[in-house]
Amino acid sequence: MELLRSKLFSQFPQIVFGMSTKNGGVSDPPYGLNLSIGVGDDPDNVRENRKRFFNALNIDGTRLAFPLQVHSSQVQDAHTPGRYINTDGLTTDKKEIYLIVSVADCLPVFLFDPIHNAIAGVHAGWKGTDQKITMKMIQLMNERWQTDPSEIIAFLGPAAGVCCYEVGEGVAELFSSEFKAPQSNGKYHLDIPAVNKEQLISAGVKIENIEHENFCTICSNDRFHSYRRDGNESGRMMGVIGLRG
């Protein structure tokens, strides 16, 4: 199974972190290592894929906190494992609660406050990014755990890149010109990871504390799932972060 790890998070032994790719699952093509139910894949295969993914990270599958993502900027804290409706970001300072972010083109953002031992996971598509979900999460961490942004370690995972992520004028006009490239067809290529990185920095996160796995999901060939590329037959990847008990 091919997993993405974080160089920055791996310096902290209490952190468990990993992101899946498309590789290493039991599902038939095009799904591969799909970790999401309800995207057209065989549920038994998804269960087996999840088991393999969480086993590879030595995570107890009953200790997961799932946000039921809706492309919002709603964030909340997770005191127990379970499903959290209408939310696109979870944070906790509890041990053995593993926060999930599920993606196929949207940007997964993971945060760690090593001073207060608090973690967060954020799902940032263009809507959440426009509504500054990453900054809202930092604000919530500050309220809940007294997190100082200058102490935060951040990881940005693979997402639709500026090389491929085409949007119309209506979406493009929400973002400042440094984050979009006009195309000859009148549309724009948008750089969602760069916007989130900028939001982290303006919230006070140090640039050297931001790790960015700058892979484009759309042109990754078969390394990552991409909804834009594969449409209704696209699987989903998961990133997970937790504090070991």
Q: State the Cα torsion 204-210-213-215 to the nearest 10°.
A: 30
Among 128, 158, 161, 242, binds Zn ion (CB under 5 A): 161
Among 56, 57, 164, 201, binds Zn ion (CB under 5 A): 164
Q: Is the separation of the CB atoms in 88 and 122 below 8 Å? A: yes
Helices (H), the chain: 43-56, 126-130, 133-145, 169-172, 192-203, 227-230
Measured from the CB atom, the residue of 125 and 161 that comes closer to Zn ion is 161
HSE at residue 223, side-chain half, CA atoms within 13 A, is 14
Among 5, 115, 163, 245, binds Zn ion (CB under 5 A): 163
Measured from the CB atom, the residue of 158 and 161 that comes closer to Zn ion is 161
- Residue 162 lies near Zn ion (rule: CB under 5 A): no
SS3 string, 176-190, reads CHHHEEECCCCCEEE
Measured from the CB atom, the residue of 3 and 164 that comes closer to Zn ion is 164
- Residue 219 lies near Zn ion (rule: CB under 5 A): yes
- Residue count, binding to Zn ion (CB under 5 A): 6
- Residue 85 lies near Zn ion (rule: CB under 5 A): no
Residue 232 φ/ψ, nearest 5 degrees: -65, -10
Question: Please, what is the minimum distance in Å from the beta carbon of residue 188 to Zn ion?
Answer: 14
Residues of this chain that interact with Zn ion (CB under 5 A) are 161, 163-164, 216, 218-219
